[in-house]
Amino acid sequence: MTFWTRIAGFILRNRYLVLFVIALITTFLVTQTKYIRFSYTEANLLPQDHEANIEYDKFLDIFGEEGNLVILGVKDSTIFSPEKFNAWNELVKSFDSVAQVDFTVSISDVKQLKADRKQRKFIVEDLFSETPKTKEEVDKIKTQLFEKLPFYENLLYNEDGTIQTAIYIKKDLVNTPARRDFIAEILIPKINDFEKKYNIDVRISGMPYIRTVNSQNIIDEMGIFVLGALLITAVIFFFFFRSFRATFITLLVVGVGVIWAFGFIGLFQYEITVLSALIPPLIIVIGVPNAVFLINKYQQEVKKHGNQAKSLQRVISKIGNATLMTNITTASGFATFVFVKSQLLREFGILASINIVSIFILALLIIPILYSFMPLPEKKHLNHLEKKWMSNVVAWMERMVKQQRITIYITTVVIIMLSMVGLFQIRVSGSLIEDMPKGMQFYKDIKFFEKEFGGIMPLEILIDTKKEKGVMKLSTLKKMEKLNETIETFPELSKPISVTNLVKYSKQAYYNGNPKYYQLPTSQEQSYIFAYTKNSNSNAGMLKNFVDSTGRYARITTFMKDIGTDKMDIIQDRLNAVIKKQFPDDKFNVSMTGKALVFLKGTNYLIKNLVISLTLAIILISIFMAWMFRSAQMILISLIPNMLPLLITAGLMGFFGIPIKPSTILVFSIAFGISVDDTIHFLAKYRQELLANNWKIKPAVYSALRETGVSMFYTSIVLFFGFLVFTISSFGGTIALGGLVSVTLLLAMISNLLLLPSLLLSFEKKIANKKVLKETNFKILPPKEDK
C-alpha cells in the first residue's frame, strides 16, 4: 500500500474528525481577524538598515514627521468677496480646535515682520486684525499679501491668484487611526458643507489626506476583488462542469480559504497594504484549479467504474500527490520573496505561500469528504467529459505537435526576437501616486496642486554644518541660496522653502517692507540686520521649522511632481553636483531625503529583489525537475515553455509602455510560480505514459496531451478570467498586474500544450530510457490502474 493510499484511507475513514478539525481551525482564524490592521503609512520598500532609511530617520529625529501637512486650495476670484473671504478664514480657524490638529496657516494668520527702530528689533504684526467688511478692505489685504509679501509666495498664494491653506496634523497622530477619523469624519464633511453653501470648489491634498483616501480605496476594492473572483470563477466552473453541486463544493472550499487568508493576516498582525489586499482573491483564483483537477478526476473515475469509494480513494491517491507538487512549486515561487530584505515583499511572500498550501489541504480534504456524503453524479453531470468542442481543441493541439512542429519552433523564435525588442524598451518608474485612481477626485486635486504650486510630495535636503550656530553664518546661507536657485530651475520641483526665505524677509522688513529688498543681506548689512534678529523673539517660531534648536542643522523643503525614477535620477545628479561644489565634505554633510525619494529608491531596490526572487524560483524548479527526472536536458525542456511567456510579457510591457514599478514587479514571480504547474502536470502524466507504453516517446506524448489537455485548458481559463478580475481596479498598477498575469498564464498554457510536447518529441530520445526511470525514486503519479 502506497503512502497516498494510506492518506486516502485515513481521510475517508475519519471524515467527521477531519471536518471538525477544519471547523476548529476556521473558528480560531475568524477570531484572529480582529487583529487585522490597515496601513497608515506609505509602503517602505527598503530594508530598515538601508542608507536611504537611515538618512530619513535622521531627518525625522531632528525635524520630526514631514508628512503631516494637509493642504486646502481655492482658485476662484469670488473667494475675495467679503462674505466668502471671512467664511473661508472661519472655516480654517474651526480646525484649530480639533484634537488631531496641531495648527493651521491661512491668510488670516499672515504675520508681517517689521523693524522697530527704537528698540532695534523685529516685531510681528497681523496682516489684518479686524474682520474686513467691504470689498475694498479685502482688496487691500489681497494687494498687501500678493504684492508686498514675497515670503508667502508659493506658501499661501501664487501669482495666478490661487490661495492655499496648510493644516498641520499632530506629528504623533499622523500615522494612527486618529488621522483617518479627522480626514473622514471632520475635514471632508466640513469642506463639503462649505462648497455647497458658497458654491466654491475646494481642492484637498497633502500626504495624510492622500494616504487616507487611498487606504479606503484599497479596503473597498478588496471586497470587490473577493466577490468578483468568486463570481467569475463560479460562472466559468459551472460552464465547464454544468453541476450546481460541484460549483457549490468549490465555492465552499475557496470561501473557507478566504477566511483562513484573512485569519492569517490577523494572526501575524500584518497590515493591509496594496499587496496583502491581493491575497484573498489570489487564493480564490489559485484554489479553483485545485478543485478542477480533483472533481474532474472524481467524475472520470465514476464514469469509468461507478464505484464511489474507489473513485474517492483514487482522487486522493492519484491527484493528491500531483496537486501537492504543483501547489508547492507555486508556493515556492511566492516564498522566494521571504529571502529579500523588503518587509513589504517578505510579508506578501509569507502570506501567499502559507495560504496556497492551506487551500490545497482544504481542497484535498473537503472535496472527497463532501462527495462521500452525496449520491453518485448523474449522467448529465458527466457529459462535459465528452464535449465535442473540447475534443476538437485537443485534437487540434495534437495535430499541430504531429505535423507543424517546425512551424511551432519558427513562431517561437520570431516571438523571442520581437519580445527582446520590447524588453529593451521597458522603463522603470517609481512614484507614490502613479498607480492611484486617475478618475478619483483626490487624484485630480493632486494634479491641481502640481500645476498651481509645483507638487505635494515633500523632498527634503538636510544640511549638517558640523558645528553649533553654523547655519546662520552668511557664507552658509549663500551656499543654501545657490542650491535654492538650482532647485527653481526644475519644472518638476516647487519653489524651495528654507531659512534663507526668513533671512531675506528680515532684510525686507529692515528696509521698511520694500519687496525689492527681499534678498540675502550683504556682509556689511549682516551685522546690523542680525543684531535686530538677536534682540527679537518674533521670528523664533518661524525659525524652528527650518533650523534645529542648536543651529547646526538646516532643511530645504521643496515639493515634487509625479515623476518617475529616470527624471529623479537626473535631478539628483544635478543637485548633487551643486552640493558637492558648494558644500565641501570636510565642512558639511548634506543628504537628500523625504518619503517620495525613499519610495523612488525603493523601486530600484525592488527590481534587484525581483531578479533575486525569480532566480531563486527558477533554481528551485530546476532542482525539482532534476530530482524528478535525473536529467539536465529535462530541466531545460521544462523551463523553456515557462520562461517564454515571461519574455513575451516583458516585451508587451515594453511595447505598451507599462513600466516596471512596485505594482507590476510581481507579475513575473506570480506567473512563473503558477504556469510551471501545467508543466508538472503534463510531465507527470508523460512519465506515467512512458512506463505504460514501454518507453515509446510518441505514444506517451500524445496520450499525455489528450489526458492533461482538458484539465490544463479548464484551469488556465479559470486563472485567466480570475486574474482578469483585478483589471476592474481603479489602481493602475493592479490593473496592469491582473492583465499581465492573465495574458502570461494564457501564453503559458499554449506554450505547455504546444511547445513542451514538441520539445519532448524532438530532444528527449536521450533520456527516455529505462535506466533514467529506474534511477528515479520519485513517483509523482502511480502507474495506470485497471478498472
| 535-569 per-position pLDDT tens digit | 555 454 556 778 888 889 999 999 888 776 677 88
Q: Where does the pLDDT of residue 698 fall: very low under 50, low under 70, confident under 90, or very high at 90 and above?
A: confident
Contact 337, 243 (CB under 8 A): no
| Residues 586 and 485 sit within 8 Å (Cβ to Cβ) | no
Mind listing the pLDDT tens digit for each residue in 87-145? 999 999 999 889 999 888 888 888 888 888 888 888 888 888 888 999 999 999 999 98
Distance CA 654, CA 651 (A): 5
Over the range 233-256, which residues count as b (16 or more CB within 10 Å of their CB) and which as e? bbebbbebbebebbbebbbebbbb
Cα–Cα distance measured from residue 244 to residue 100, given in angstroms and rounded to the nearest whole number: 53
pLDDT (0 to 100) of residue 28: 96
What's the N-to-C CA distance of the chain in angstroms?
18
Give the pLDDT confidence of 621-646 residue by residue, as tens digits: 777 777 766 667 777 788 888 888 88
Give the mean model confidence (pLDDT) for residues 568-579.
87
pLDDT for res 252: 93
b/e string for 324-342 if b means 16 or more Cβ within 10 A? bbbbbbbbbbbbbbbebbb
What pLDDT is recorded for position 697? Answer: 80
| pLDDT at residue 383 in the model | 65
**Residue 696 pLDDT level (bands cut at 50, 70, 90):** confident
For residue 782, name the pLDDT band (cuts at 50, 70, 90).
Answer: very low
Task: Mention every residue, 6+ apart, whose C-beta is less than 8 A from residue 347.
Answer: 268, 270, 273, 275, 276
Does 337 or 359 have the greater pLDDT score? Answer: 359
What integer pLDDT is reported at residue 380 of this predicted model? 65
Lowest mean pLDDT among 191-195, 445-449, 600-604: 600-604
589, part of any domain: no
Could you give phi then psi for residue 786, rounded to 5 degrees? -80, 170
Tell whether 619 is covered by a domain. Answer: no
> How high is the pLDDT of residue 14?
92
Residue pLDDT, tens place only, 246-272 = 889 999 999 999 999 999 999 998 888
Residue 149 pLDDT > 70: yes
pLDDT value at position 363?
92
State the pLDDT at residue 768: 52
* 669 in the same domain as 637: yes
Q: Is residue 455 part of a domain?
A: no
Instruction: Give domain status of residue 266, yes or no.
Output: yes
Is 277 within 8 Å of 221 (Cβ atoms)?
A: yes
Mean pLDDT along residues 365-385: 79
Domain containing 275 — which CATH number?
Answer: 1.20.1640.10
Q: What is the pLDDT of residue 785?
A: 44
Interatomic CA distance for residues 398 and 495, integer angstroms: 66
Cell of 309: 469509494
The answer to whether residues 239 and 343 belong to one domain is yes
Instruction: Sort 491 into a burial class: Cβ within 10 Å, 0-12 / 13-18 / 19+.
Output: exposed
Q: Which of 437, 433, 431 is nearest to 217 (CA)?
A: 437
Looking at the domain assignment, is residue 397 inside a domain?
yes
Task: Give 16's pLDDT tier (boundaries 50, 70, 90).
Answer: very high
Are 318 and 221 contained in the same domain?
yes
Nearest-angstrom CA–CA distance, 144 and 56: 38
Q: pLDDT band at residue 284, thresholds of 50, 70 and 90?
A: confident
Whether residue 410 is found in the same domain as residue 293: no
Q: Tell me what the mean pLDDT of segment 291-301 comes to.
A: 83
Pair 660, 786 in one domain:
yes
- Over residues 298-310, mean pLDDT: 82
Whether the full predicted model's pTM is greater than 0.85, yes or no, is no
CB 319 within 8 A of CB 294: yes
Residue type, 41: T
C-alpha torsion angle, residues 101, 103, 106, 108 (rounded to 10): 120
The model's pLDDT over 150-202, given as tens digits with 9 standing for 90+, comes to 988 888 888 888 999 989 898 888 878 888 889 989 999 999 999 999 999 99
**Residue 249 and residue 366 in one domain:** yes
Tell me which residue range forms the domain holding 302: 1-35+215-386
pLDDT number for residue 66: 65
Q: Do 324 and 396 share a structural domain?
A: no
Positive or negative, the CA dihedral 542, 548, 551, 554 is negative
- Comparing 44 with 48, the larger pLDDT belongs to 48
Judge whether residue 43 has pLDDT over 70: no
Task: Answer with the residue of higher pLDDT: 422 or 330.
Answer: 422
Q: From CA 347, how far away is CA 328, in angstroms rounded?
A: 18
Burial class (CB in 10 A: 0-12, 13-18, 19+), 417: exposed
Residue 527 burial (10 A CB sphere; 0-12, 13-18, 19+): exposed
Same domain, 306 and 420: no
Q: How much is the average pLDDT of 431-450?
A: 79
Q: For residue 305, is pLDDT > 60? A: yes
Helix (H, G, I), strand (E, B) or coil at 544: coil
Hey, how many other C-beta atoms are within 10 angstroms of the C-beta on 133? 11
Question: Which of 328, 363, 386 lies at the terminal end of a domain, its last residue?
Answer: 386
| 781 has a pLDDT exceeding 50 | no
Q: Is the dihedral of CA 673, 678, 681, 682 positive or negative?
A: negative
Helix orientation angle between 207-241 and 441-453, rounded to the nearest 10 degrees? 140
Over residues 363-390, mean pLDDT: 78
Q: Would you give the DSSP letter of residue 206?
A: S
CA distance 429 to 479: 32
The pLDDT tens digits for 716-731 are 888 888 888 888 887 7
Q: Does 456 reside within a domain? A: no
State pLDDT tens for residues 646-681.
888 889 888 888 887 766 777 887 788 777 877 877
Q: Which residue has the higher pLDDT, 747 or 384?
A: 747
Indicate whether 153 belongs to any domain.
Answer: no
C-beta separation of 283 from 225 below 8 A: no
pLDDT at 88: 93
* Beta strand segments in 475-614, E: 553-560, 589-593
Domain count, the chain: 2
Q: What is the pLDDT of residue 358?
A: 94
- Partners of 752 in the beta sheet? none
515670503: which residue's cell? 151
Please tell me whether residues 355 and 404 are part of one structural domain: no
Residue where a domain stops, chosen among 336, 357, 386: 386
Average pLDDT, the chain: 83
| 264 domain residue, yes or no | yes
Residues 329, 392, single domain; the answer is no
pLDDT surpasses 60 at 783: no
Is residue 277 within 8 Å of 215, Cβ to Cβ? no
pLDDT of 772 > 60? The answer is no
Cα distance between residue 258 and residue 165, in whole Å:
44
Average pLDDT on 285-308 reads 83
Distance CA 127, CA 108 (A): 7
What is the length of the chain?
Answer: 787
Residue 203: pLDDT over 90: yes
Work out the number of other CB atoms within 10 angstroms of the CB of residue 375.
Answer: 8
Instruction: Answer yes or no: do 382 and 405 share one domain.
Output: no
Q: What is the reported pLDDT for 385?
A: 61
Whether residues 264 and 396 share a domain: the answer is: no
Cell of 164: 492655499
Q: Kindly state the average pLDDT of the residues 472-492.
A: 91
Residue 784's pLDDT is 46
